[in-house]
Each structure stands twice: as C-alpha cells, then as structure tokens.
Amino acid sequence: MQGKLSFEALQEAVAVGRIDTVIAAQVDMQGRLMGKRFHAQHFVDEAWAETHSCNYLLATDIEMIPVPGYAATSWSAGYGDYVMKPDLSTLRITPWAEGTALVLCDVLDHHTHAPVPHSPRAVLQRQITRLEAMGYRAMVATELEFFLFRECYETLADRGYRGLTPISPYNEDYHIFQTAKEEDVMRAIRNGLYGAGIPVENSKGEADAGQEEINVRYADALTTADHHSILKNAVKEIAWQKGRAVTFMAKWSADAAGSSSHIHQSLQRIDDGSAVFVDAGRPYGLSQTAEAFLSGLLKHADETTLFLAPYVNSYKRFAAETFAPVSTVWSVDNRTAGYRLVAAGSESVRIENRIGGADLNPYLAIAAQLAAGMAGIEAGLTLEPAFEGDAYSVPEDRLIPGTLREAIVAAEGSVMLREAFGDDVVEHYLRAARWEQAHFDRAVTDYEVRRGFERG
C-alpha cells in the first residue's frame, strides 16, 4: 500500500535526498511511541539492525516518572539498556513530517536478545502465537474517539488545562456541516494516515461537541495495534501543526461524553482464510467456536477490564445513557451492552467490545481479549442467552468494575491472565495500576477545594 516502504526503497529515497530522517520507536506501557530520530544515512548504514533505549521506558508512569517496585528494573539495578530491534515490515513514510520515515521496534533483552516479555508488542505477539497454534488468526479493528479543541497545546498548558473550548459548539454526531468546519484538521489526518500506509476508512463527528472518530480497515491483530499507536501519535502531531489540541482521555469533562476505543474482533482459519465465526445454520449465523470465544470474553470480563481501562479517569466514562456501557452482558446490535454482536447472520459477523476507552494500550487490550477468548474455546464454554432491552438496567453482578481498585483486584486474582501472560507480566502491569491509584489518592482535586474550602 502507498506509504509502506521496503528497506531497499528507503535506501533509494535516502540516496536521492527524499528522506533525511528515520524515527525508530518502541511502544511504551501507555501505548505511546518512544524512540530516536536518526539521520537517515546512519539508519540505512547501521541502525536498521538495532539501536538501544533505557529500560526505564517500560517502568514509568504517564508522566515519565521512574516508578519504584518493578522486578524488571530499578535504581538499584542501574536502569540499563534494552535493544530496540526495528521491525522493517512496519517501515513507512510519515507525510505529516517532511522527509521522514518511521519504523516500529521490538524490545529485546540487552544481553540475551530475547523479547522483553512485558513490552506491549511482545505481550500481544505471545497471544498471537498461542492462537496460531490453534490454527487461527485474529482479525481486529479499533474505533478511536477523541476531542478536538480550538486552542493549541501550549495555550492549554499555560492555562493549567482550564477553559478548554471544543472545536464545535454542539453535538456533531454524523453532522456533515459542523465537520466541514473542522476539515482543515481532519482531512489532513485522513490523508496523512493513508499516505503512511494506514488504510483509513472514514472520519466522522461523534456524540458530543468537538468529538471525532477515526475508523481504520480491519486487519490482523498486530497490524491493528501498530496502526492504532501510530494513529494516536499522528493525530496529535497534525492537530498541533494546525494550531489545535486533541485529547484521548476517556473522560475529559464531567459534562462531556467519554471517548472510547471499541474493539471489533473475529477469527480466520490460517490454512484458507475462511471465517471461523460464521455458521449459517446456527442462531445469528454464529459458529460454536465463536460462541465459546464470546463466552470466554464474558467469563473473564472483570479480569480483563484493567487492560481496557488503565487509569483512574477511565472509570469516569462508564455512565448510563451515554452510549458508554456499564455492563458485561452481550446483545445483538445493541449499543447499551458491553459486548455487541455486529452483522449477525452475515459473513462479517464479529464481536464488538464497547468497554475499552481511548486511553487503552491497544497491544495489551487486544492481547487480553485474545487470551480470554482462547480460554473460552479451550474450556468449550456454552454461550448464555443474548440480553434484550436496555443493558443499563442489568443486575449489579454484571456491572463493569466501577473503579481502578476493583479492576486491580479482579486482574490480580485472574488465573487465566497469569497462565496466558505469565506471572511476571501480570505483576508488572499490576504495579503500574497500583502506582496510578496511589498517585491519584495523594492528589487534591479542584472538586475537593471547591466543595470544602469555605463550607467544610
């Protein structure tokens, strides 16, 4: 596809001066791109084989604070190096950055060159390998929502992120006229991503003032996760270039809708590419394997929530009658449920997880979904009946964990996750979550000051 580069094409582009910079980036625990900008000639001469990064990059919080308590690295261990191994299949031009190419890197142990097991790409690759051993390939799409603001990042930072003005004054869900007023940014995003080899299908206004959505074509799980992380970085860069700011927070304001990252998922047979989830002779055209996969998602929904909602703020999004789910039930084409069956009775039948927020790390979220689905298949689980009606009225025992604390407890006790990811990986991300919770617990919020300053 346009935008993707072979290594030979990169060498040619560097030789004639079309590309002078190559970004080599790994994905951090938050799903962000971290790495180096190489002079392109040095990259094609040497750095294409490997480069290095400090191992603290997989042991920090969202503010890049080195967090104590990780087994993988620490001050006492000296914060040594990891190897960043460019995956040349991800090499692409970045049209929004002049003369620049981008490549994603796998993260390897500096001494053994084995994959670092808690690196997000490795977590997902492990589940893909497990699934392939069953003869299946995971196909996934993530629908990303975000808010676009009139101000730039620098202005909002100077204001302490107060007085934010969404780009539109009213709900712009599917609204063609309002989104026409935003096309200088959104058109640049669509074309920039497509030019980078990321097959954007469309953008649209979402369910609040200033809210946008980008949809990218269905692909295998690793490609989708790569596209997702590159997309978030590109959207921020392009908005900044246009003098605007965006946020992928799950809930940037109590008065605004939340931003999601719905995960659409199905399986293909590796041998012939046929759809595993399809069986025209069964209810909803859903195969027995698909029913078992969905049953696994439901059985382990609480345990996997941590990887769909990784921050304290993530849980503010789960609110009734906002199109964000509050339950872990499944339903047919019902946007009030946590799991929605899409395109029932067709060759495109798939499961949509509506729980994930726009703040999730796509590698970890997809890996957790695959692990839960495989557990359902391996156990031969039977699917419960589809929920009908308003899923905002489900019994309390089917509610999504309501806080990060609850999600931590569920993940901590998950035998499924520990068997799928390994104890070390689970403990690594539990440490991150506990730090996030403890960091918030020490904060004094504007809400507390307003409520208690005079009247308390």
Confidence of residue 1 (pLDDT cuts 50, 70, 90): low
Pair (410, 353) in one structural domain:
yes
Length of the chain in residues, anyone?
Answer: 456
Backbone angles phi, psi at 152, to 5 degrees: -95, 170
**Where residue 32 sits, what CATH number does that domain have?**
3.10.20.70
Mean pLDDT on 360-381 = 98
Cα 256 to chain center, whole Å?
21
Contacts of 261 (CB under 8 A, 6+ apart): 142, 143, 144, 145, 228, 356, 357, 358, 359, 360, 362, 365
Any domain includes 134 = yes
Confidence of residue 2 (pLDDT cuts 50, 70, 90): confident
At 94 the three-state DSSP class reads: coil
The pair of three-digit structure tokens given for residue 453, joined into one six-digit string: 């300053």
Pair (340, 358) in one structural domain:
yes
The yes-or-no verdict on residue 246 having pLDDT over 60 is yes
Confidence of residue 456 (pLDDT cuts 50, 70, 90): confident
Q: Of 84, 118, 152, which residue is a domain's last?
A: 118
Confidence of residue 125 (pLDDT cuts 50, 70, 90): very high
Range name among 247-251, 327-331, 451-455 with the lowest pLDDT average: 451-455
Q: What percent of the chain has pLDDT over 90?
A: 97
Assess contact for 371 and 288: CB atoms under 8 A. no
Assess contact for 132 and 126: CB atoms under 8 A. no
Pair (229, 147) in one structural domain:
yes
Any domain includes 263 = yes
Confidence of residue 117 (pLDDT cuts 50, 70, 90): very high
Assess contact for 179 and 205: CB atoms under 8 A. yes
Host H or E run for residue 293? helix 288-299
- Strand 339-342 and strand 350-353: the pairing is antiparallel
What is the C-alpha to C-alpha distance for residues 431 and 58, in angstroms, rounded to an integer? 12
Any domain includes 455 = no
Pair (290, 201) in one structural domain:
yes
Pair (137, 17) in one structural domain:
no
The pair of three-digit structure tokens given for residue 241, joined into one six-digit string: 């270039």
What is the C-alpha to C-alpha distance for residues 379 and 419, in angstroms, rounded to an integer? 14
The yes-or-no verdict on residue 435 having pLDDT over 90 is yes
Any domain includes 454 = no
What is the C-alpha to C-alpha distance for residues 279 and 283, in angstroms, rounded to an integer? 8
Q: What is the pLDDT of residues 252-296, one digit of tens each?
A: 999 999 999 999 999 999 999 999 999 999 999 999 999 999 999
Pair (176, 324) in one structural domain:
yes
What is the C-alpha to C-alpha distance for residues 357 and 314, in angstroms, rounded to an integer? 7
The pair of three-digit structure tokens given for residue 37, joined into one six-digit string: 């900008």
Into how many domains does the chain fold? Answer: 2
Helix axes 221-241, 362-379, angle to 10 degrees: 160
Q: Work out the number of other CB atoms within 10 angstroms of the CB of residue 319.
A: 16
The yes-or-no verdict on residue 363 having pLDDT over 60 is yes
Any domain includes 170 = yes
Distances (CA, A) of 98 to 91, 94, 153, 197, 272: 16, 7, 21, 16, 41
Pair (208, 327) in one structural domain:
yes
Pair (17, 141) in one structural domain:
no
At 37 the three-state DSSP class reads: strand
Q: Of 63, 93, 118, which residue is a domain's last?
A: 118
Looking at residue 44, the DSSP 8-state letter turns out to be I
Assess contact for 301 and 401: CB atoms under 8 A. no
The tally of CA atoms less than 13 A away on the side-chain side of residue 339 is 29
At 119 the three-state DSSP class reads: coil
What is the C-alpha to C-alpha distance for residues 263 and 361, in angstroms, rounded to an integer? 12
The tally of CA atoms less than 13 A away on the side-chain side of residue 375 is 23
Any domain includes 51 = yes
For residue 72, what are the domain limits? 7-118
- What pLDDT does 100 receive? 98
| Whether the model pTM is above 0.75 | yes
Q: Work out the number of other CB atoms within 10 angstroms of the CB of residue 281.
A: 6
Pair (184, 240) in one structural domain:
yes
User: Mean pLDDT for the chain?
Assistant: 96
The tally of CA atoms less than 13 A away on the side-chain side of residue 435 is 18
Q: What is the pLDDT of residues 317-349, one digit of tens each?
A: 999 999 999 999 999 999 999 999 999 999 999
Pair (267, 357) in one structural domain:
yes
At 366 the three-state DSSP class reads: helix
Pair (65, 179) in one structural domain:
no
Pair (232, 324) in one structural domain:
yes
Any domain includes 111 = yes
Cα angle value 155/158/163 (rounded, 5°): 70
Helix then strand then coil, in percent of the chain rounded to 5, is 40, 20, 40
Cα angle value 120/126/129 (rounded, 5°): 140
Contacts of 55 (CB under 8 A, 6+ apart): 72, 73, 79, 80, 81, 82, 110, 116
Any domain includes 452 = no
Q: Of 61, 90, 118, which residue is a domain's last?
A: 118
What is the C-alpha to C-alpha distance for residues 380 and 296, in angstroms, rounded to an integer? 9
**Where residue 161 sits, what CATH number does that domain have?**
3.30.590.10
Q: What percent of the chain has pLDDT over 70?
A: 100
Confidence of residue 83 (pLDDT cuts 50, 70, 90): very high
